[in-house]
Amino acid sequence: MKEKNKYAFLTSTQMILVYVIIAFSLVVGFRQPAFFSPATIITICRTGIFTMCFALCEMVVILSGGIDVSFPAIGCVAMYVPMYIVNRVYKIDSAFFAFAVAIIIGLLFGLLNGFLVSVLELPPLIATLATSSVASGGVVTLLGTREFTNLPSSLQAIYNTNLITYTAPDSGFTYPLNVLILVPVVAALLVSWVLRKTMLGRGLYAIGGDKNAARVAGFNVRKLQFIAYVFSGVFTGIAAMIYNILMHSATTSALMGDEMITIAACVIGGVRITGGHGTVLGTFLGVLLITLVQNNLNMLGIPTSWQRFVVGIVILLGTILTSWQAKRSMNAGRA
């Protein structure tokens, strides 16, 4: 029995991801010894910050049996509107204000998604597609398409706050790690705890596994679906503001198209698209692998024009692995 458990652990999706990540790192490091440097870790962390935030949102929604393709649009609105207000309407130099507006916008669209999916019982893909269109079309119509590249000093202060700064000994380049990395870290720990240790978390798994069984068991299915979408909306708002701070750019289209890579990161990490399966750790590994591949292909001498193609292949292989694991798991029941 113990042997079997050990085997199951060593061939689990998460462990296979770990092997792939190690193998990829070794290959890159072999070609470019510079890869093995603290600088790489800091770069990965920096680019992974918002991908991880968005992946957490997506994971919670997919777990509950839904899907959310509206977060890029919601995120764009959530960072564009406060920056528009600050720049064009009334100069309020307050980080609290910026985040509050972003969160409220995320909350409102999250409520809309929750209403469409749980009360009107629309298919989540269609509902969130509609929300996406409403959000991004609405903001463009009402507020136009500008780009705000100046941060108010309060946000700039956050940008300037670094957790650690690594200076490469030979080149003298500095690699700062922004304090905002703590947001996805804390959020990941929190979400992980909620999913494993609270009835709210188990309820999300339950409705993702079988809505009807969850209803019979006494779970409030609608409420749980609502919570998933509202969490996604609110946290998307926060993540979008982080994007704005780190990138010094708020536009109405900056995040558009991110939904695919985010969903892919989740699925590679073992989140089953049909709901009910997935962990924070798996999602983290999925994000790590995709970020790693995106950032380091040039180190392997693969031209930039090929990067999308290669990322696509990684996604494809990752998804095949997950679905193969799922099939293996179900077939075990028949034997």
Partner 1 sequence: MTNDIFLKLKGIQKSFGGVHALKGVDLEIRKGEIHCLAGENGCGKSTLIKAISGVHEIDGGEIEIEGEKVEKMRPIDAINRGIQVIYQDFAVFPNLTVAENIALNGEVKNKARLVDWKEVHRTAEEAMNQVGAKLDPDIQLERLPVAGKQMVAICRAIINDAKLLILDEPTTALNEKEVENLWKVVRSLKEKGIAIMIVNHKLDEIYEIADRLTILRNGSFVSTGLISEYDTARFTKDMTGHDVTSAKYAPEESGEEIFRVEGLSLSGRFTDVSFSMNRGDILGITGLLGSGRGEIGEALFGITPVESGRIYLNGKEIQIKSVNDAIKNQIGYVPEDRLTQGLFMQRSILDNVVVSSIRKYFHGVKLDDNQMEEAADHWIKELSIATPSAKPAVRNLSGGNAQKVVISKWLNTDPRLFILNGPTVGVDIGAKSEIHQILRGLAQKGIGIIIISDDLPELLTNCNKIIIMRDGRIGEVTDNTIERIEL
Residues that bind partner 1 (CB under 8 A): 196-203, 205-206, 208-210, 212-214, 216-219, 272, 275-277, 329-330, 332-334
Shortest Cβ 121–partner 1 spacing (Å)? 18
- Phi, psi (degrees; rounded to nearest 5) at 170: -80, -50
Distance CA 37, CA 34 (A): 6
Distance CA 17, CA 213 (A): 32
Shortest Cβ 52–partner 1 spacing (Å)? 24
CB 249 within 8 A of CB 25: no
- Residue with Cβ nearer partner 1 (208 or 286): 208
- Residue with Cβ nearer partner 1 (76 or 267): 267
- Residue with Cβ nearer partner 1 (46 or 272): 272
* 272 CB burial (10 A radius; 0-12, 13-18, 19+): buried
Shortest Cβ 231–partner 1 spacing (Å)? 17
Shortest Cβ 22–partner 1 spacing (Å)? 27
- Which of 67, 109, 99 shows the shortest CA–CA distance to 243? 99
- Which of 264, 263, 258, 260 shows the shortest CA–CA distance to 317? 264
Within 8 A by CB and 6+ apart from 5, the residues are none
- Residue with Cβ nearer partner 1 (304 or 331): 331
Shortest Cβ 1–partner 1 spacing (Å)? 8
- Residue with Cβ nearer partner 1 (1 or 89): 1
Per-position DSSP letters for 20-71, written without gaps between them: HHHHHHHHHHHH-GGGSSHHHHHHHHHHHHHHHHHHHHHHHHHHTT-----H
- Residue with Cβ nearer partner 1 (176 or 209): 209
Shortest Cβ 16–partner 1 spacing (Å)? 18
Tokens 């597609």: give the residue.
129
Shortest Cβ 211–partner 1 spacing (Å)? 10
3 state SS of 176: strand
- Residue with Cβ nearer partner 1 (29 or 276): 276
